[in-house]
Structure 1
Amino acid sequence: MSDKISAVNADGVSEPFTAETAPLEAFSHGERFGSSFRHLSSFGGGDHVGVALEELAPGKESNPSHYHMLEEEHAYILDGALTLKLGARSFIMKAGDYVCFPAGQKVGHSLFNHTDAPCRYLIIGERNPNDVIVYPESGRVCVRLTGEGYDKASTMEYWQGIDASASRPLPQE
């Protein structure tokens, strides 16, 4: 592993690098979720397209099932196998398999390693600062622009909470 924090040189030019040069990060949440990953695009100086090399340990799920309203995601399996949960359906994916999750496709997706060996894959996606992400299992809606999450069950009608009985007076100067 290198001590470099980026593949961008002193002149601001992004140079080639091996994937193992990018810092290895990991996350876990409870017994169900967890993975390790290298943010290749960030390390390489990119900020419009996200590319991560991820490894999913046996018995772990990548993240809660979700879909994006404005971002497109892609997954390409490099080594091993896993189960793609896509809405109510499941698909076994192995090395060489690919899937696209188009923006606005209202079907949640997540990856689960059903095997006894790690699975490595690339995740590629946009980095839209205005994206809205929906989590069907919990009903959570994330509005990336505000950095906040909302309960999808708490929807409001357009005029709800607005006093429509009279016009409001203009402020006095």
Structure 2
Amino acid sequence: MPTTPGVSTLSNTARPVAVLATDMAPRTVASNYPEPFASRMNGRTKRALGAVFGLGNFGVNLTELAPGAVSSLRHAHTAQDEFIYVLRGHPVLRTDVGETLLAPGMCAGFQAGSGNAHQLVNPGNEPVVYLEIGDRSPGDTVSYPDDDLVAVLSEGRWLFAHKDGRPY
């Protein structure tokens, strides 16, 4: 018989088998971007759900965007596929082909190596909540067509540089 909704754990591990996503603590660091880019992520809150379960091959975040906030800098990955599923609100998806208004229940995918840079923007007065899922492919690089920034995934962490190669 199921127990009351909430966190339950297996007896042989400290990892839960189920959680209420909104009860998970948000990330303590709002962004890995260097300044002046990190402060542009104000109003974005991420809860790293995959990490709660020890998932290593892909990440899952419950992300909330306050009114006026953005998901990230507009970017494209060379090796990482990404997927989003809108739970609440009406974000605008910005890509190389233009802007698309999204609604709850809609989803979008971004194939690695496509070069089609993407970003979500919350132009509304209510929060936007969505799931974002991405793999953790080694050797990934990220381009940011609107900003003087490139990123390389090296030994599990992102290294940021200017487009001319100078590190931040």
TM range (shorter): 0.7 to 0.9
Q: Give matches, 1:107-118, under 5 Å.
A: 107-118=116-127
Cα distance in structure 2, aligned partners of 1:110 and 1:135 = 10
Aligned 8 A contact 1:23 1:38 in 2: yes
1:26-77, Cα deviation, whole Å (9 max, x unpaired): 6274466430121110011111110001110101111110010000000100
Match of 2:146 among 137, 140, 145: 137
Query: Partners of 2:24 and 2:18 in 1: how far apart?
Result: 11
Tell me the matched-pair count.
Answer: 150
Q: Is residue 21 of structure 1 aligned with residue 30 of structure 2? A: no
1:108 positional shift: 1.0
SS at structure 1 position matched to 2:62: strand
Counterpart selection for 1:71 from 68, 80, 92: 80
State the Cα deviation string for residues 72-120 of structure 1 (Å, max 9, x = none).
0001000111100112510100101100000001011111001100010
Distance 1:143 1:8 in 2: 36
Verify the 8 A CA contact 2:83 2:134 in the aligned structure 1. Answer: yes
> Which of the pair has more CA radius of gyration?
1
Match of 2:106 among 83, 97, 122: 97
Whole-angstrom distance in 1 between the partners of 2:8 and 2:43: 27
TM norm structure 1: 0.76
TM-score, normalisation: structure 2: 0.78
- Identity over aligned pairs, percent: 28
1:58 aligned to which of 48, 67, 70:
67
CA RMSD of aligned residues (A): 2.5
2:163 is aligned with 1:152: yes
Q: Which runs of 5+ in 2 are unaligned?
A: 1-6, 32-37
The aligned amino acid for 1:135 is Y
Q: Which runs of 5+ in 1 are unaligned?
A: 1-5, 155-173
Shift of 1:16: 1.6
Q: Give runs of ≥4 in structure 1 deviating > 3 Å.
A: 6-10, 28-34, 150-154
Separation of aligned partners in 2, 1:151 and 1:35: 24
